[in-house]
Amino acid sequence: MNNLNLSKKMLLVFVGSIACTILFSFFFIHYLYTDLYKERIKESIIYQGNRTAAHYHYGELSDSIIEKIQWYNIVSEYEIIVVDRLDDLTSYFPYQLDYQSLVNESDQETLETGQPVMKEGYVEELNREIFGGIFPIKGENGLIGFIYIYVPLAAIQDVFRDSVPIMLIVGSAFFAILFFILQRVWRSLFEPLQTLQTYSEKVSKGDYSNRLDSERNDEIGKLSTAFNSMSRSLEEQDQRKKEFTSNIVHELRTPLTYISGYAQLSRDKIDHSSEEVKQYLSTIEKETERLKKLIHDLVELNHLEQDLYTLETEPIAIAQLLLDTLELFDIRRTEKGLYLQSSLDEDLIIQGDPKRLQQVFYNTIDNAVKYAQQEIAVQLKANDYGIQYQISNDGVTIGDEDLARIGERFFRTDKARTRTTGGSGLGLSIVKEIVRLHQGTFEVSNQATDTIVTIELPISPEIEQRSE
C-alpha cells in the first residue's frame, strides 16, 4: 500500500467498496432466506400441523376425515400426507432426505411420545430442499395415525426474483453517484497535490519562485500556505548563505594578500639560504596564490548560481595537469608518511577549463591527504563516457547517511574541525559544481575502509556560453 499513489489508493477504495457491497448483499440475502423465509415456513408448518392434528385427538381416521385432509391438501400450498401407520409413510413419500431415510429410530421414539418431528433436507428426485413436519394424531387408546406436512422450498433466486432487479438498479445508481463524488474529490484534492509535487521538485533544485494558490480554507489551503511559507524561508536562507560567502571573501582577501606579499619578500631577501628553504617559501607562495584564487572562485560560484559564469575551455593534457597538482602535495604527503599509488593514461586529451579542472584535482587530493592513514591511490583512464578520474584514501570512511549530502555547500562529515582536517566545507561543493559545468558526473562511495571519489568527464562537452 505504501508504494501506491493517492489516485490508485482511491481507485482501490472504490473497487473495494463495490466488492464489500456485493459481499454484504450476498450475506444479507442469505440471511433473509435462511432466517426469515425458512423460519416463516417452519412456523407455518408447525401451526398447520398442530391445528390439523388437534381436530382428531379423539376419534378414528375415517374416510371422510381423510377426504377432508386431502381436500385441504389441494387448496393449500402445502403437501399433506395422512397415514394410519408410520411405516406406510414411505409408500406415499418414497424419497430420501439428504440421502437418508425420512424417519429414523430417534424420530420414532419422539413421535411415540406424542411430539412432532421437523424434517429438512435435499430431495434428489425433486431437485429441491423440502421442509416439513410429522405430527402424531392421538386417539382414546393412543396414536391412531400420522400427518406429514411438507413444502418444497423455493430456490433463493426464486424468492428474490422481484427484489434483485431493484437492488441492481439501486446499487448501480449508488455507485454511479459515488464515482461522481470520488471524481470531484480527485480533481479537488489530487490536482493541487500534483502541482505541489512539481513545485517541490523545483524547490529541491533551487527554484523558489513558484507559489501555490492558498485561498482555500480546507486542509489543501493550509498545506499550500505552509508550502509558500517554506519556499520563502528557503529562498531567504539561500540568499543569506550567498551573502555569508561574499562576506567571507571580503574578510579573507586582504590578509591573504599580505601573506603573499611577505612570502615573496622573504624569498627575495634570502638569496644565500639553502635551496630547501627556497622551495618551502616557493610552495607557500603557490599555496597563497591558490587560496586567493579559491576565494575568487567562491565569488564566481555565486555568479554561477545566478547563471552569470563562463568556462574558458581549451585542449588539456589532463594527465600532466593532474601530475602538476599532485606535486604540490609532495611535502604534506612526506610529512604524513603517505604512499602514493598512481595509474595515469598520459595520452588523454580533453576540452575543458584547465584552471577549474586543476581546482577539482586540488580539492579532491587535499581531502584525500587530510583523511588518509597510509596510502592514496589515483587513477586516470579512458572509458565509454570520456575519461574517469578516481582518487581513494584509506583510514576514514563516510557514513551512509552522509554520502548523499556530499557536495552540499558548507556540509562536512567531521563536525569538529581540527588543525589537520579543518576547512570551510566548500571544497567538494566547488568540485561538484565545476564537474557539472563540464557536463560530468561526481560520486563519493565507500569500499571496505577506503573512501573513493569518482569523477567522469566527457572528452568534449558542449559548454553553454553565458555572458558575465
pLDDT digits (tens, 9 = 90+) for 224-239: 888 888 888 888 878 7
Contacts of 312 (CB under 8 A, 6+ apart): 353, 355
pLDDT over 90, % of the chain: 17
Categorise residue 127: left if φ over 0, alpha if ψ from -120 to 50, beta otherwise: left
What pLDDT shows up at residue 297? 61
User: Using an 8 Å Cβ cutoff, are 279 and 334 in contact?
Assistant: no
What pLDDT shows up at residue 350? 93
Sheet strand arrangement including 128-139: 79-83, 142-152, 128-139, 117-123
Q: What is the pLDDT of residues 48-88, one digit of tens each?
A: 777 777 766 545 556 666 666 666 666 666 788 888 888 88
Q: What is the pLDDT of residues 315-362, one digit of tens each?
A: 999 999 999 999 999 999 999 999 999 999 999 999 999 988 998 999
Would you place residue 307 in the very low, low, confident or very high pLDDT band (cuts 50, 70, 90)? low
Domains of the chain: 6-159 (3.30.450), 186-309 (1.10.287.130), 311-468 (3.30.565.10)
Write down the H helix ranges in 62-155.
Answer: 63-75, 89-92, 105-112
What pLDDT shows up at residue 6? 59
Cell numbers at 335, concatenated: 610529512
